């Protein structure tokens, strides 16, 4: 079929993802290739010492991204987008969205970026015998309990951003198991919240006499392919206020950006892994067996079908690279030039490969926000060097790229000590956009081969579209692993880079200084205030 006929006959599938700085919608055809897209830029706000997004901005952003997608369809194919075969919603994981019984938001959305739940996370990790990171929804809930916040007694429903949008589009309070695994620990065998841990938590808060039990607050857990509802009349109008889009298409279980990253890189089988590197960076490896002990630096989440995954999640990645790109843009404009930002980024990344392997004894910390893996409650971006350091553009960019992955490497080294085996590490996200460069630095950080496929730039919204396509196109009994391998990625080519020993040695030398220099970062947090 021609693409315009696929669209008009309602055979296209939509994936939407709410990222930290962009909401993107991707439309795919029966061959799973993107055929149209639209996006919307947005930013979180720091209000009352918390990172948040206004819910009005959620809907304004979604509607703008969808309107831009619909306009892209009109421009490319000369038709209106009226109906879909399926769709799915994904978003950055974790955080805290608490609603009362009437569906009113009780406190402003607290995002994953907040690092104010340290006491709760520590207590829960001890209570449950399971690492509970600060950004997880249960940590936010329990910190509100510890704080004595009055809204806690009125909570009727907790969810993530993806779960919230899905609820409003379908009327269903459900969540994909991968996203749910960032709210509360999952029992992979049962495909649901761990009942023993739920009971431990209920016992912990029982003396406070809240009118709820924990599981009653949490969304119902669904695995990929299970019925998650369909687009209602009200939901269609929320998505497309023009009224052009028809209701009725099925929605896949809403997922987090970890799950869509796994889908987008075909990394859902055991011994496969992927690295998503953009505003934040995280690496995930599907485990063969449990880790030997609890590591506060390692999260245990799941694939979209509930298989256990070790995850190293870092709040900061490319933010300093982006900030310095703005500086270079300003310099070029001051010289009377009109910079091409793609060319600026390409020059920045390629110059890094010309730098000394250890970065010339320059230290750079990219901590715009707190970083629990490094034990930091707040962030202070820093460039530090000794008088004898060799500061030039190539070395500066080398340490920019090292810094973007340095915290991730702390976690990856722990997995190496646990003898976690990964046959294939797939890279995706903006860090890998410039050919070879980010891939090579990532291979040095991981000490393992890193592959980037031609589809790596599609990212999370495409991964969500794949999960929605699996919802409606899979054969009877076909697993997600087999669907992705056979229906989506069969025959796709990519590039694989083995780690260069000199790069590995250079990164390790940088890391030795980096870890020692964290004391400088802590001092900056103590003494440099907004």
Residue 459, pLDDT above cutoff 80? no
Query: Confidence class of residue 458 from pLDDT cuts 50, 70 and 90?
Result: low
Q: List all residues 6 or more positions away from 526 whose beta carbon is below 8 Å from its beta carbon.
A: none
Mean pLDDT computed over every residue of the chain: 95
Q: Is residue 112 part of a domain?
A: no
Looking at residue 457, its pLDDT comes to 60
Mean pLDDT, residues 456-464: 81
Regarding whether 476 and 339 lie in a shared domain, the answer is: no
Looking at residue 454, its pLDDT comes to 72
Regarding whether 444 and 489 lie in a shared domain, the answer is: yes
Q: Is residue 201 part of a domain?
A: no
Share of the chain above pLDDT 70, in %: 99
Residue 436, pLDDT above cutoff 70? yes
Residue 455, pLDDT above cutoff 70? no
Tell me the residue ranges of DSSP E strands in 184-259: 186-187, 192-193, 220-222, 255-256
In this prediction the pTM is 0.84
Regarding whether 421 and 491 lie in a shared domain, the answer is: yes
| Containing structural domain, residue 458 | 266-317+411-497
Regarding whether 418 and 307 lie in a shared domain, the answer is: yes
Tell me the residue ranges of DSSP E strands in 289-411: 299-302, 308-314, 362-365, 382-385
pLDDT per residue over 354-396, tens digit each?
999 999 999 999 999 889 889 898 999 999 999 999 999 999 9
Radius of gyration of the chain (CA): 23
Residue 134, pLDDT above cutoff 70? yes
Give, in order, the Cα–Cα distances in Å from 109 to each of 18, 45, 238, 385: 14, 11, 19, 39
CB burial string 449-488: b at 16+ within 10 A, e below? bbbbbebbebbbbbbbbbbbbbbbbbeeeebbbebbeebb
Regarding whether 481 and 347 lie in a shared domain, the answer is: no
Looking at residue 18, its pLDDT comes to 97
Share of the chain above pLDDT 90, in %: 87
Q: Is residue 180 part of a domain?
A: no
pLDDT per residue over 151-182, tens digit each?
999 999 999 999 999 999 999 999 999 999 99
Q: Is residue 43 part of a domain?
A: no
Q: Is residue 247 part of a domain?
A: no
């Amino acid at each position: 079929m021609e693409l315009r006929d696929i669209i008009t006959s309602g055979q296209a599938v939509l994936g939407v993802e709410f990222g930290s700085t962009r909401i993107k919608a991707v439309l795919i055809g029966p061959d799973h290739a993107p055929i149209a897209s639209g996006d919307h830029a947005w930013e979180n706000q720091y209000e009352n010492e918390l990172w948040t997004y206004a819910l009005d901005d959620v809907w304004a952003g979604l509607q703008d991204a969808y309107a831009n997608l619909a306009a892209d369809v009109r421009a490319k194919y000369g038709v209106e987008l009226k109906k879909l075969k399926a769709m799915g919603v994904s978003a950055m994981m974790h955080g805290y969205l608490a609603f009362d019984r009437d569906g009113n938001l009780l406190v402003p959305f607290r995002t994953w970026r907040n690092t104010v739940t340290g006491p709760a996370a520590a207590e829960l990790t001890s209570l449950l015998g399971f690492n509970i990171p600060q950004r997880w929804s249960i940590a936010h809930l329990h910190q509100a309990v510890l704080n004595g916040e009055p809204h806690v007694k009125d909570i009727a429903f907790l969810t993530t951003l993806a779960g919230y949008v899905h609820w409003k589009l379908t009327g269903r309070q459900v969540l994909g198991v991968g996203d749910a695994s960032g709210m509360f620990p999952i029992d992979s065998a049962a495909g649901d919240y761990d009942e023993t841990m739920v009971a431990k938590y209920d016992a912990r808060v029982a003396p406070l006499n809240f009118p709820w039990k924990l599981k009653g607050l949490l969304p119902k857990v669904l695995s990929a392919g299970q019925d998650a509802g369909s687009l209602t009349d009200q939901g269609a109008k929320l998505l497309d206020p023009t009224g052009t889009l028809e209701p009725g298409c099925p929605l896949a279980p809403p997922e987090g950006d970890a799950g869509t990253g796994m889908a987008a890189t075909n990394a859902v089988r055991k011994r496969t892994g992927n690295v998503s590197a953009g505003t934040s960076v995280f690496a995930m490896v599907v485990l063969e067996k449990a880790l030997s002990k609890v590591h506060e630096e390692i999260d245990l989440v799941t694939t979209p079908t509930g298989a256990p995954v070790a995850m190293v999640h870092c709040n900061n990645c490319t933010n300093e690279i982006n900030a310095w790109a703005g500086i270079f843009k300003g310099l070029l404009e001051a010289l009377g030039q009109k910079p091409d930002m793609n060319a600026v980024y390409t020059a920045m990344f390629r110059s890094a490969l010309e730098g000394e392997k250890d970065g010339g004894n320059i230290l750079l910390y990219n901590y715009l926000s707190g970083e629990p893996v490094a034990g930091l409650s707040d962030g202070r971006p820093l460039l530090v060097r000794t008088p004898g350091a060799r500061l030039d553009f190539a070395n500066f960019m080398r340490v920019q790229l090292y810094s973007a992955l340095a915290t991730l490497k702390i976690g990856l080294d722990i997995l190496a000590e646990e003898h976690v085996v990964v046959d294939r590490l797939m890279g995706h996200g903006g860090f890998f956009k410039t050919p070879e460069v980010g891939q090579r630095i990532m291979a040095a950080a991981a000490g393992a081969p890193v592959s980037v496929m031609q589809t790596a730039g599609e990212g999370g919204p495409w991964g969500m579209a794949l999960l929605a396509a699996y919802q409606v196109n899979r054969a009877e009994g076909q697993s997600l692993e087999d669907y992705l391998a056979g229906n989506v990625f069969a025959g796709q080519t990519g590039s694989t880079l083995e780690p260069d020993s000199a790069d590995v040695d250079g990164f390790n030398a940088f890391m030795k200084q980096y870890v020692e220099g964290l004391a400088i970062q802590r001092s900056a947090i103590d003494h440099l205030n907004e």
